[in-house]
Amino acid sequence: MLKIGVIGCGAIGKEHIRRLMHLIPNAEVVACTDYFIDAAKETAAKYGIPNVYQTGEELIAASEVEAIVITSSDASHAAYVLEGVKAGKQVFCEKPLAQTAADCEAIMEEEVKQGRKLVQVGFMRRYDPGYVEIKKVIDSGELGEPLMIHACHRNVSQGEGFQTEMGITNVAIHELDICRWLLGDEYKNAQVLKVKQSARSTKGYDNPQIVLLETENGSRIDVELQVSDAYGYDIQCQVVCEKGTLNLPDPSSIIKRSNATCSTTLMTDWADRFIEAYDIELADWVTKVEQGEPAGPSSWDGYAACVAADSLNRSRGTNEFLKVEMIEKPELYK
Amino acid sequence: MLKIGVIGCGAIGKEHIRRLMHLIPNAEVVACTDYFIDAAKETAAKYGIPNVYQTGEELIAASEVEAIVITSSDASHAAYVLEGVKAGKQVFCEKPLAQTAADCEAIMEEEVKQGRKLVQVGFMRRYDPGYVEIKKVIDSGELGEPLMIHACHRNVSQGEGFQTEMGITNVAIHELDICRWLLGDEYKNAQVLKVKQSARSTKGYDNPQIVLLETENGSRIDVELQVSDAYGYDIQCQVVCEKGTLNLPDPSSIIKRSNATCSTTLMTDWADRFIEAYDIELADWVTKVEQGEPAGPSSWDGYAACVAADSLNRSRGTNEFLKVEMIEKPELYK
Amino acid sequence: MLKIGVIGCGAIGKEHIRRLMHLIPNAEVVACTDYFIDAAKETAAKYGIPNVYQTGEELIAASEVEAIVITSSDASHAAYVLEGVKAGKQVFCEKPLAQTAADCEAIMEEEVKQGRKLVQVGFMRRYDPGYVEIKKVIDSGELGEPLMIHACHRNVSQGEGFQTEMGITNVAIHELDICRWLLGDEYKNAQVLKVKQSARSTKGYDNPQIVLLETENGSRIDVELQVSDAYGYDIQCQVVCEKGTLNLPDPSSIIKRSNATCSTTLMTDWADRFIEAYDIELADWVTKVEQGEPAGPSSWDGYAACVAADSLNRSRGTNEFLKVEMIEKPELYK
Amino acid sequence: MLKIGVIGCGAIGKEHIRRLMHLIPNAEVVACTDYFIDAAKETAAKYGIPNVYQTGEELIAASEVEAIVITSSDASHAAYVLEGVKAGKQVFCEKPLAQTAADCEAIMEEEVKQGRKLVQVGFMRRYDPGYVEIKKVIDSGELGEPLMIHACHRNVSQGEGFQTEMGITNVAIHELDICRWLLGDEYKNAQVLKVKQSARSTKGYDNPQIVLLETENGSRIDVELQVSDAYGYDIQCQVVCEKGTLNLPDPSSIIKRSNATCSTTLMTDWADRFIEAYDIELADWVTKVEQGEPAGPSSWDGYAACVAADSLNRSRGTNEFLKVEMIEKPELYK
């Protein structure tokens, strides 16, 4: 039974607490905290969590807390992760791991110093059955080497305060991780392209954008990015290999024939799309941590996505590919 | 160059004349006639047909006419076919070949007497690329023996004067032929089932109906029959074999994603659905006749469909399977 | 927290215990038993179940047991259910509820006497997202009245001792329940048809078979039943309404293009197909029971499926529809 | 009846002669020629073409020739087209119109001088029912403005002597035309990207490549180009509009379920894919020319594709977008 403390009791925090308490038999949430302490108290009451702490630091230090889940605001992630790692505790951190490459590097240094992996980043798509099936076929070699990925990320809306750069750091970040993972490769060059803007997008940020990536092995990735105003929440991914292609399927939906039309319903809410992946992700983290070490996306993966996102955002308007400059990969993550 | 006379210049007659004149290089329409002689004259003027005859009999007898296409009213088919066969001329007759089994038998007797096949019946589905592909896979043995067929015939409307029995003799008749052909088998038992009626069907005839057939080899066929008021013109056919199934595809149509829906457009007009099959059918008839003998559905096939239709119509309301009683198959058709 | 005793610790029993213990927060398994008492002891040890009883009767009588899950052998269901109901406890019973209509009637009589529903039958398909979506569209009236259902149940293998009749009572039983539920209707007539047998089926039982049903409202249902030797585990269901049709989708699977072929993978194991439905089913039962009364398939539903299955099995070889004779529906189940 | 002379009696030339003679009622081939005069003579004999000329120039000048079809080698197109236009005759020229922008400009100048359109270029995709349906929906405005196109051109092999640049000028040229047409827009920037090469491609030319285009209105196009060694001949096109997307469908093919797999067959031969489009294209050209002026792709369209192809080929290896520099569009083509 893994005893977990949760930092951040907002929407995703509460979702993860529910998962840990109700769906994952070998996990138990023993402590929580939130910037708004009343949110933490309410959540604790609702789920029967015994300890509420005033700060993340206190929670990290608490002796009954064996592992930490970080679902606080993006800007606060890196410091909590670092603190957790320093305390020698396993940390599951929602994406992004940090907002700068330097912060990611600091986390990795600490892990390297301790000689073990203590961090998993919340790139849940790696647990989605569709992506997992694609990865399995790629790795089987049945279709030869992967050469290209064509991806689309189409969403219906974003919250207040959304900005162009967040299209990369908060939305396309999932493609930045999953494409590296599918290809087993690192990024070399990155570019964001300006596209004719949708007249429906009137909120002051670029929409759509196109993301182009080149990997060390020369594979190419294109990602169409509609952060809002799309016809639905639709995630498309096609991997082109030497001998064939693999497509992520649409979520299952009944087929209707009426009015001379054959149709299926598409999703509109991102939360519905990867709900199963979230469940599997947390269960896997708990189990692997109990066995010694997490097996999911590491702080290196969080770093790689962060560096690529940074290159992409810097490339905007330059009309050229920018190098994705990464430090040498520490042995720990190989 | 096959010199053809056409009896019947209505809609389907004109369509076939257009095909023979414009699409089929080795055919020429040299004569036509119609119950309404002005229709024949107009058609002759439009397509440059040199001879117009007052009656089908005159056309059949005309020395310049080598082969005959019959597209006159259903009730008149059998007599024209018999006359054409007696004249030793090749005859292409739109379905149905005749309205009674006895009339079909008379035609076959005449062919047998002459010792050669002189009749092709207009079951155009045998030339549809989808059905042809299904037939090829069945005959390859790749999937083992065929065991069952599930079929649907859904249509949007019928002309004035339509009656319940015509659901079998004019609509399901296509399934009666194509299923025999796909299975390479004859019918043994037949039954029409009453179904809850659509409130949209208020024109005095049964709709929908369900057709059940059993073949000599024990294969089973079920056909859902919506003669009118369906959501589109939709023809479905699934053959279930020992090792797998084969489905007729929907006609190709662009895929639209909008309003949280993924959709394609279905057809509503039957004439669009099998247009390619009609073209191939007539071209094949002309070519095979020029080579000596037609290779398409014979008068035996017209007879088999007629007998099955008759059994089905007699079974209505009896709540049991009726025998499909056929004469022994003449050597000529084996 | 619902305190549950489980009778039967075989494969499905253990699966349900796992669900109740790990996935369903408001349930707790407090007792178990099995015909093989060692199986019960092992399961208790594995899941930390405090009490093991020698017999189902003892478990039912135990004061700490508030509700009972029955996953013992088919033949033992009815007696345990009746005992549970007499004890005034809520019972979840895997299908079938009983092996005779008389046994089902005895259970209903006891419920009626007590004036409340105490039984839910394990027809998990009613919780499958695909069937649920179909039901929702039917009930919305958007497509008018349902008129027909075309269904297929294709399976790859059956256990030792399988017999022809079990094709109905153990396999098609799911269609018998789900079709009634989708249509909101009862069966009037039933018939099993002999079909050409698959050469792959050499184990002494009929395969395939075709099930035909007519409802009180005149709707028609056809079910193709391949209990074994099919190309995969494939469940198909199409509801034909006045204005359109609804199809159960295939489970989601990646799309591969290679070797001039576009393909997806189909399932072969039934346990994978409805795993989500089982989870939702038991969670719903626990929640509704805690709120007062189960909302899933009742003992009336178990009875209706049992009577229809019986008519079907009696009809085999008669070549006619048999009446499905049911008692008048008690007020309790309306 | 349009009297046509055909220059070039190779594979595509013979195909077009067959179409003009057999499928298109209002056309007649009255003359032909070929660089290998025996090929011309054979073709004339086969199709009953009365006149064979030693040279294209003689054929163009022949008084019985009203219109010209050019299906000779690519390098010879421009001169014949110019000659035909100077002779005041209608010209249908297979793609490419010319090999340099200057040659295209000379042709346009001559047309402008004569004040009428005399040229149609063989971009047959504009007549493919799928593309036509997409164009119709775009132009209807139902989905708002088009913003992006994602396209794939995958082929299985190329003839001897194929070179990297021909991937653009002979293969992607179809996408260069169809995307302009779908969007109703001109190209502004163009770039070819190097991609990880397929180990199956060992014939000395780049494969795959990625084509990127930006239009005057800011729309973006990406085309994956596999000129050979792909799993089949597969043409994909998705237009992304403000309110939804439109996809070209796969050609219709039967659906097979066997061995736990659901599959359809993909094409391998390009000639099968657009056979219907070729038929419609030539029929439309003949009809429109008889009515006064061709309505299909003009010499401006041939020029635009040529200029874009040139920019793409010059961009190879530069890692940047090159301007697509076009002359001002003459009034005649607006």
Q: Which chain A residues contact residue C246 at CB under 8 A?
A: 254-256
B99 and B141 inside one domain: no
Q: What's the mean pLDDT in A63-73?
A: 97
Q: What pLDDT band is residue B201 in, cutting at 50, 70 and 90? A: confident
Sequential pLDDT tens for chain C (334 residues): 999 999 999 999 999 999 999 889 899 999 999 999 999 999 999 999 999 999 999 999 999 999 999 999 999 999 999 999 999 999 999 999 999 999 999 999 999 999 999 999 999 999 999 999 999 999 999 999 999 999 999 999 999 999 999 999 999 999 999 999 999 999 999 999 999 999 888 889 999 999 999 999 999 999 999 999 999 999 999 999 999 999 999 999 999 999 999 999 999 998 899 999 999 999 999 999 999 999 999 999 999 999 999 999 999 999 899 999 999 999 999 9
Q: What is the CATH number of the domain that holds B208?
A: 3.30.360.10
Tell me how far CA of residue D74 lies from CA of A327, D53, D81, in angstroms: 52, 20, 12
B104 and B72 inside one domain: yes
Mean pLDDT (chain A, rounded): 96
Measured in angstroms, the CA of B11 and the nearest CA of chain A are apart by 24
- Is omega for the bond preceding A96 within 30 degrees of 0, making it cis? yes
Give the predicted TM-score (pTM) of the model: 0.96
Interface of C with D (CB under 8 A): 231-232, 234, 250, 257-268
Helix or strand (DSSP H, E) at B235: strand B234-241
For residues B52 and B202, the model is more confident at B52
Q: Which chain C residues contact residue D249 at CB under 8 A?
A: none
Helix or strand (DSSP H, E) at C120: strand C119-121
Separation CA D195–CA D173 (nearest Å): 19
Instruction: Kindly report, residue by residue over B56-100, the tens digit of the pLDDT.
Output: 999 999 999 999 999 999 999 999 999 999 999 999 999 999 999
Separation CA D290–CA D277 (nearest Å): 20
In this predicted structure, the answer to whether residue D292 has a pLDDT above a threshold of 90 is yes
Instruction: Kindly report, residue by residue over D168-219, the tens digit of the pLDDT.
Output: 999 999 999 999 999 999 999 999 999 999 988 888 999 999 999 999 999 9
- Counted across chains B and D, CB pairs separated by less than 8 A come out at 81
Nearest to B66 by CA among B44, B91, B86: B91
pLDDT of residue B54: 97
Q: By the 8 A CB rule, do C231 and A112 touch?
A: no
Note whether C262 contacts D267, CB cutoff 8 Å. Answer: no
Nearest to B190 by CA among B331, B24, B312, B47: B312
Strand partners, D121: D93
Contacts of C259 (CB under 8 A, 6+ apart): A243, A244, D231, D232
Interface of C with A (CB under 8 A): 21-25, 129-130, 133-134, 137, 142-143, 243-259, 264
Separation CA A211–CA A167 (nearest Å): 10
pLDDT more than 90, % of chain B? 96
Q: What's the mean pLDDT in B292-316?
A: 97
Residue of D133, D142, D143, D147 best to disrupt the A interface, most CBs of A under 10 A: D147
Separation CA B180–CA B46 (nearest Å): 39
Give the dihedral of Cα atoms A64, A70, A76, A78; nearest 10 deg.
90
Tell me how far CA of residue C192 lies from CA of A212, B188, C156, C182, D149, in angstroms: 60, 18, 21, 21, 53
Instruction: Kindly report, residue by residue over A71-89, the tens digit of the pLDDT.
Output: 999 999 999 999 999 999 9
Q: Return the SS3 of C163.
A: coil
In this predicted structure, the answer to whether residue B25 has a pLDDT above a threshold of 90 is no
Q: What's the mean pLDDT in D13-31?
A: 94
- Residue of A231, A258, A264 lying closest to B258 (CB–CB): A231
Number of domains in chain B: 2
Q: Strand pairing of D220-226 and D209-215? A: antiparallel
- Total length of chain D: 334
Q: What's the mean pLDDT in B241-258?
A: 97
Instruction: Kindly report, residue by residue over C272-301, the tens digit of the pLDDT.
Output: 999 999 999 999 999 999 999 999 999 999
Q: What's the mean pLDDT in D250-261?
A: 97
Q: By the 8 A CB rule, do C254 and A137 touch?
A: yes
Helix or strand (DSSP H, E) at A113: helix A101-114
- Total length of chain C: 334
Contacts of A268 (CB under 8 A, 6+ apart): A156, A232, A233, B260
- Phi, psi dihedral angles at C203 (to 5 degrees): -105, 15
Q: By the 8 A CB rule, do D220 and D151 touch?
A: no
A139 and A81 inside one domain: no
pLDDT of residue C25: 87
B81 and B197 inside one domain: no
Q: What pLDDT band is residue B252 in, cutting at 50, 70 and 90? A: very high
b/e code B42-62 from CB counts within 10 Å (16+ = b): bbbeebebebbbeebbebbeb
b/e code A138-172 from CB counts within 10 Å (16+ = b): beeeebbbbbbbbbbbbbbebeeebeebbbbbbbb
In this predicted structure, the answer to whether residue A292 has a pLDDT above a threshold of 90 is yes
Q: Which residue has the tokens 């070549």?
A: C319
Sequence-ordered strand ranges (E) for chain A: 2-7, 27-33, 51-52, 67-70, 90-93, 119-121, 146-154, 187-194, 209-215, 220-226, 234-241, 244-247, 255-258, 261-265, 322-323
C183 and C237 inside one domain: yes
Q: By the 8 A CB rule, do A152 and A236 touch?
A: yes
pLDDT of residue A202: 83
Q: Is residue D272 part of a domain?
A: no
In this predicted structure, the answer to whether residue A179 has a pLDDT above a threshold of 90 is yes
**Which chains border B (3 or more CB–CB pairs < 8 Å)?**
A, C, D
Q: What's the mean pLDDT in A279-294?
A: 97
Q: What pLDDT band is residue B277 in, cutting at 50, 70 and 90? A: very high
B184 and B110 inside one domain: no
Separation CA C223–CA C243 (nearest Å): 22
Q: What pLDDT band is residue A271 in, cutting at 50, 70 and 90? A: confident
Separation CA A176–CA A174 (nearest Å): 5
Q: Return the SS3 of A51.
A: strand
pLDDT of residue B319: 86
pLDDT of residue A25: 87
A327 and A206 inside one domain: yes
Q: Which residue has the tokens 């997992």?
A: A132
A138 and A247 inside one domain: yes
pLDDT of residue D60: 98
Interface of A with D (CB under 8 A): 144-145, 147-148, 150, 152, 193-200, 208, 210, 212, 214-215, 217-220, 222, 224, 229, 231, 240, 242-245, 319-321
Nearest to C244 by CA among B175, B226, A15, A30: B226
> What Rg, from alpha-carbon coordinates, does chain A have?
20
In this predicted structure, the answer to whether residue B49 has a pLDDT above a threshold of 90 is yes
Give the helix ranges, DSSP H, for chain D. Answer: 11-18, 37-47, 56-61, 77-86, 101-114, 129-140, 166, 173-183, 270-273, 275-291, 299-315
Category of A195 on φ-ψ map: left (φ > 0), alpha (ψ -120 to 50) or beta: beta
Q: Is residue D319 part of a domain?
A: yes
Instruction: Kindly report, residue by residue over B153-185, the tens digit of the pLDDT.
Output: 999 999 999 999 999 999 999 999 999 999 999
Count Cα neighbours of C160 within 13 Å in the Cβ-side half-sphere: 0
D243 and D144 inside one domain: yes
- Phi, psi dihedral angles at A98 (to 5 degrees): -160, 170
Query: By CB neighbour count within 10 A (0-12 exposed, 13-18 middle, 19+ buried), where does D218 fall?
Result: middle
pLDDT of residue B271: 85
Contacts of A156 (CB under 8 A, 6+ apart): A228, A229, A230, A232, A233, A268
Note whether B22 contacts D21, CB cutoff 8 Å. Answer: no
D328 and D192 inside one domain: yes
Tell me how far CA of residue A227 lies from CA of A122, A230, A232, in angstroms: 20, 8, 11
Query: By CB neighbour count within 10 A (0-12 exposed, 13-18 middle, 19+ buried), where does A87 fall?
Result: middle
Q: What's the mean pLDDT in B134-148?
A: 98
Note whether C254 contacts A247, CB cutoff 8 Å. Answer: yes
Q: By the 8 A CB rule, do D91 and D97 touch?
A: no
Separation CA D64–CA C102 (nearest Å): 94
Q: Domain residues for A240?
A: 126-268+303-333
Q: What is the CATH number of the domain that holds C32?
A: 3.40.50.720
pLDDT of residue D189: 98
Take residue A334 and report the two structure tokens written for it: 């190989």
Q: Is residue D190 part of a domain?
A: yes
D195 and D103 inside one domain: no
Contacts of C273 (CB under 8 A, 6+ apart): C233, C235, C251, C267
- Residue of C144, C194, C240 lying closest to B224 (CB–CB): C240
A146 and A259 inside one domain: yes
> Which amino acid does the sequence have at D323?
K
- Counted across chains B and C, CB pairs separated by less than 8 A come out at 96
A96: how many CB neighbours lie within 10 A of its CB?
A: 23
Distance, first Cα to last Cα, chain B: 29
pLDDT of residue D200: 84
Distance, first Cα to last Cα, chain C: 29
Sequence-ordered strand ranges (E) for D203-249: 209-215, 220-226, 234-241, 244-247
